[in-house]
Amino acid sequence: MSDTIAVAIDADSAMPLRRRSRITLWTGVACLVLAIVIGDAIDPLVPTILFVLGGAALIYLVVLKSRLRHELARQAAANSPLPEKLSWRTYAGIVISRGLLAVILASVHDPLVIAFLGFLCVVGLLGAVIWRTQAVTWRAQLIKAVIYGMAAVYAYGALMNDRANADILVAKLAEYKLQHGSYPEKLDALVPALLPEIPTAGFVGFKYVRDQDAYRLYYRPSVAGPCFNSPTIKGWKCTAD
């Protein structure tokens, strides 16, 4: 009877770590997404604070995950070995939960988030190598690594597409000035003569400000700050640079 109670207590000891891991994970993701969505709309300091909070939450998540693995390994050694294989429902849960997180992070198109996805991919690959003697664990780690790796590749491609769209707008603004002698008051003036539609970049798109015989074109590729282009500078000048 006492052995049964001890096993039940051990089984429940990992639940608080799981619960805290989930809360920490979604808190970190929410902070990172809000940092991009809000941008400089409220105050330039707001996205920086949100990014720091999100980064701290995700770092803490790594610590919780490590503690959870040690706890599960202790329970396996004390009670019974890990199962030979997981059910398809368990694998589906891993794919859905990690896939949803990867989709949310990849939609941000931010260099720092891309680096974090790459970090998660590397952690998954290292986990697969470290736990290679346990088929259940290394398969789950490998699935996570593949999901995060694919998300990082997609987000990097989207980031490069944002910069390409920004360069297209700069070229079309120069072409508009050659035709009309001045820059347009709004980007909508480029449609449909020079562009079928105004291209997009990330969540907030482009911000165009006409300044006498010049302009400033902004877009935000990073929580660290926006990038802008003007006829008076060469290339893009970014706050993060």
The pLDDT tens digits for 19-66 are 888 888 888 888 877 777 766 555 666 777 777 787 778 778 777 777
Instruction: Give the span between the Cα atoms of 7 and 203, in whole angstroms.
Output: 49
Cβ neighbour number for residue 197 with a 10 Å cutoff: 9
Q: How many other C-beta atoms can be found within 10 angstroms of the C-beta atom of residue 136? A: 14
Residue 29 domain flag = yes
Written as six digits, the tokens of 26 are 């979604």
Sequence-distant contacts of 128-136: CB under 8 A, at least 24 apart: 134/82, 135/84, 135/85, 136/82, 136/83, 136/84, 136/85, 136/86
pLDDT above 50: residue 9: no
User: Is 91 part of a structural domain of the chain?
Assistant: no
Residue 207 three-state SS: strand
Q: Is residue 140 in a domain? A: no
Confidence of residue 12 (pLDDT cuts 50, 70, 90): very low
For the record, the structure tokens of 116 come out as 């974090």
pLDDT for residue 1: 38
Residue type, 208: Y
Report yes or no on 76 lying in a domain: yes
State the residue range of the domain holding 72. Answer: 1-81
Q: Rounded to an integer, what distance in angstroms lies between the CA atom of residue 174 and that of residue 172?
A: 5
Last residue of a domain, one of 81, 98, 125: 81
Whether residue 124 is contained in a domain is answered as: no
Whether the CB-CB separation of 148 and 179 falls below 8 Å is answered with no
Q: Round to whole Å and give the CA distance between 8 and 28.
A: 32
Q: Give the per-residue pLDDT at 13.
A: 56
Give a yes or no: residue 99 inside a domain. no
Count of Cβ atoms closer than 10 Å to residue 50 Cβ: 20
Number of domains in the chain: 2
Full-model pTM? 0.66
Residue 180, in any domain of the structure: yes
Q: Is residue 202 part of a domain?
A: yes
Among residues 34, 62, 81, the one where a domain terminates is 81
Number of H helices, E strands in the chain: 6, 4
Band (pLDDT 50/70/90 cuts) for residue 174 is very high
Q: Last residue of some domain: 56, 81, 106?
A: 81
Distance CA 229, CA 233 (A): 7
More confident residue, 205 or 95: 95
